[in-house]
Structure 1
Amino acid sequence: MDVATLSTGLNTVWVVLTAAMILLMEGGFALLEAGFVRQKNAVSIIMKVFVDITFGALVFYFVGFGLMYGKDSGGWIGSTGFMLRGDLSHIQLNISHETYWLFQCAFVIAVISIVSGAVAERIHFRAYIIYAIAMTGLIYPIAGHWVWGVGGWLGKLGMIDFAGSAVIHALGGFAALAAAVFIGPRLGKFTAEGKSNIVPPSNLPLASVGAFILWFGWFGFNSGSTLSATNGSIGHIAVTTMLSAAAGGAGCILFTMFRYKKADPPMVINGSLAGLVGITAGCAYVSDAAAMLIGLVCGVAMVLVTEMLENKGIDDPVGAFAVHGVSGSLGTLAVGLFAMPSMTKGVGQEYAGLFYGGGWNLLGVQAFGLVIVSVWGFGLTWLSFLLIKRIMPVRVSKDEELIGLDVGIHGVPAYNQDHDFLDVEQLKTRG
């Protein structure tokens, strides 16, 4: 076996394994969100995650991949690669196009899963399916082409986003914010005077296990983005990923102890995730110290933004915007501050962050690209729900919401409670 064949084989195994790690994150999303919502809506969360991974994969195969990574058409969209056919010669990697598609498919599934938590407990299942198709087939692939596609206009400007703080998390987070505002808060979440009522999570141990699975999968998310098993930066990427997540969680423990006089478990869970989101753009380009600072800032910012949304009457049951939208934004900007020239040269960027002598150029490009991607995610999500509302209800009925979506929409509760037989109509009547 020659060296080239061995290299291709190693890279293929590496990318497939890390893609599988990212796909396992869907189990993390399912457990995290099921633990954060009320028991009567746990099945609904699981079903939305199945929509993400099934419809998401199929739509990305037929449409999304071609728009995102196909041959460039004016810097805006790809025009080949639909169903992995046509000219893909511009994708020059030491793996097959099928392997590359699998890895990118795992990413697109993660994007739509961010939105599912923000609309938990009140979105209509059929409306969610249509929106998931729009996100995975149009909204995310087009924005992704701008940054990651060969010839994409934001990429040509010099925007750096190694594994997706902007393309995945900021876009998904602002899309989640648009969806949460459009659909409105859960019944009883806010009083007539606008005061927020606490809706306690149904199962925090379950949510914490979900967070740990997400944390595990993030090593595939970030380190796998090298697309090469022999890339020397894999170890550094894994270390910065770990340190940022740890700093985000530790920062939330200390900050909530100071602010609330006790460590707040849901905030700590989301604080670690905020650190993971924040480091995703710069994991390959920043130092260990910068990674810890990024995680700390993202964790504290997540707490403050969560409070702000509550005060504004915006209901985001799992903190999707505070974790992904805010931390993704901060992480994207952090590249413009902390990117080290010795690291950025490896991807063809000859300038560094502001604190490493690179001036304001990179920070300006990062900020501009972030605004474009975020506005695109928010605006297209709002437009999607406006169009969906013309053909079907976006929100479940009051009775279905009060009963819970598990029984009201899916006809089965999450927990049997040792009943041998279930009468769905009787459960609906009982409410």
Structure 2
Amino acid sequence: MSSVLRICFRPGLAVLAGLLLMLTTTSRVQAQDAPAPAETTATAEAPAPAAEEAPAPAAPPTAEEVLGKLTVGIDTIWVLVCSMLVFFMNLGFGCVESGFCRAKNCVNILSKNFVVFAVCSIGFWLVGWDLMFGTGDGEFIGKSGSFMVQAKDNSPLQATKGYEGEYSSIAWATVPLWCKFFFQLCFAGTAATIVSGAVAERIKYGAFIAFCFVMAVAIYPVTGHWIWGFGYLAKEWNFWDFAGSTVVHSVGGWAALTGAIILGPRIGKFSKDGRINAIPGHNMTAAFIGCLVLWFGWFGFNP
């Protein structure tokens, strides 16, 4: 009996001993891994940063400053409106010229009046403006400035800070520089468009485009500098121009006369015996509309 009990209790004692050993080992590991209690140290709290002082409110603009900005804004709008009227005259030229020409040349006439402003824009932007309004009192051309209208100009601020720039001949206008440029660009395009009607139906398309570029780069800017750029005529002869009568209309008219003389009359205009043959236009309605558009747009020449 005693031998049987020994056999039965030996495995139980072994299992019990193993469990006790596992519990003892686990408690030791947990005791080693437990974090030490943090030491509390009395630290003095840092003083809170002082609040930043609020900036003083800006002084309200004076009545003179408000009036100056308002004047510049109104002048700018007015010059832009006049520029658009002059630009609108391209429609008038196109209608008049195409209406008084034969139907077979209508597309050519309209195309020339459309592209003339684009070509003049490139030429006047590249060189023309700086030749016309660059500083050069009493000179043949303007000698200051740079290409592509890149010179300094502070026109809107000159009333309070004085003029600082390279275009002193037109510094009297307090509107922004690019507003002045657009106004004069429309004049340059008009001077070139005047020639289109004088050489209608007898000039090659490419030749007319080349002429427009030369007009915007050299002819109109150089003549304009003599008068509006305070160049030779303005200084030596005290020459004044009203509403572009010389700088635009006269220059365009003389260029048109020169082109007509060089090209000669239209084919079929004169018979071999010298008799004059009528070449009637194909659309009097378009010509009438063009005349009214030119009449209306001309008021933009007098801002």
TM-score, structure 2 as length reference: 0.71
Counterpart contact for 2:85–2:297, Cα < 8 Å = yes
Task: Using the TM superposition, name which of 137-146 and 84-93 deviates more.
Answer: 84-93
Q: What letter matches 2:197 in structure 1?
A: G
1:253-301 deviations in whole A, cap 9, x for unaligned?
A: xxxxxxxxxxxxxxxxxxxxxxxxxxxxxxxxxxxxxxxxxxxxxxxxx
Q: Take 1:181 and 1:58, find their aligned partners in 2: how far apart are those partners?
A: 28
Task: Tell me by how many angstroms 1:53 deviates.
Answer: 0.7
Counterpart contact for 2:132–2:222, Cα < 8 Å = yes
- In the other structure, the counterpart of 1:154 is 233
Q: Closer, same or farther in 2 for the Cα pair 1:51/1:73, shift >3 Å?
A: farther
Counterpart contact for 2:128–2:218, Cα < 8 Å = yes
- In the other structure, the counterpart of 1:3 is 67
Q: What letter matches 1:85 in structure 2?
A: Q
- In the other structure, the counterpart of 1:165 is 245
- In the other structure, the counterpart of 1:82 is 147
1:317-336 pair list within 5 angstroms? none
- In the other structure, the counterpart of 1:419 is none
Q: Pick from 234, 242, 267: which aligns with 1:187? A: 267
Q: Alpha carbon RMSD of aligned pairs, Å?
A: 1.3
1:201-350 pair list within 5 angstroms? 201-222=281-302, 224=303
Task: Tell me by how many angstroms 1:39 deviates.
Answer: 0.7
- In the other structure, the counterpart of 1:379 is none
The answer to whether 1:19 aligns with 2:98 is: no
TM-score, structure 1 as length reference: 0.50
Aligned length: 222
Q: What letter matches 1:155 in structure 2?
A: A
- In the other structure, the counterpart of 1:110 is 190
Q: Take 1:19 and 1:81, find their aligned partners in 2: how far apart are those partners?
A: 24
- In the other structure, the counterpart of 1:404 is none
> Structure 1: which 5+ runs fail to align?
225-431
Counterpart contact for 1:77–1:142, Cα < 8 Å = yes
Q: What letter matches 2:216 in structure 1?
A: T
- Structure 1 segments of 4 or more deviating over 4 A? none
Task: Tell which has more relative contact order, 1 or 2 (C-alpha 8 A, sep 6+).
Answer: 2
Counterpart contact for 1:51–1:132, Cα < 8 Å = no
Q: Take 2:138 and 2:241, find their aligned partners in 1: how far apart are those partners?
A: 21
Task: Tell me by how many angstroms 1:74 deviates.
Answer: 5.1
Task: Tell me by how many angstroms 1:82 deviates.
Answer: 2.9
Q: Take 2:166 and 2:297, find their aligned partners in 1: how far apart are those partners?
A: 28
Q: Take 2:252 and 2:284, find their aligned partners in 1: how far apart are those partners?
A: 24
Q: What letter matches 1:123 in structure 2?
A: I
Counterpart contact for 2:138–2:234, Cα < 8 Å = no
Higher CA-based Rg: 2
- In the other structure, the counterpart of 1:368 is none
Q: What letter matches 1:51 in structure 2?
A: V
Q: Take 2:69 and 2:166, find their aligned partners in 1: how far apart are those partners?
A: 21
- In the other structure, the counterpart of 1:35 is 99
Task: Tell me by how many angstroms 1:89 deviates.
Answer: 4.6
Counterpart contact for 2:134–2:167, Cα < 8 Å = no
- In the other structure, the counterpart of 2:10 is none
- In the other structure, the counterpart of 2:200 is 120
Counterpart contact for 1:140–1:167, Cα < 8 Å = yes
- In the other structure, the counterpart of 1:63 is 127
> Structure 2: which 5+ runs fail to align?
1-64, 152-164
Task: Using the TM superposition, name which of 12-21 and 188-197 deviates more.
Answer: 188-197
Q: What letter matches 1:63 in structure 2?
A: V
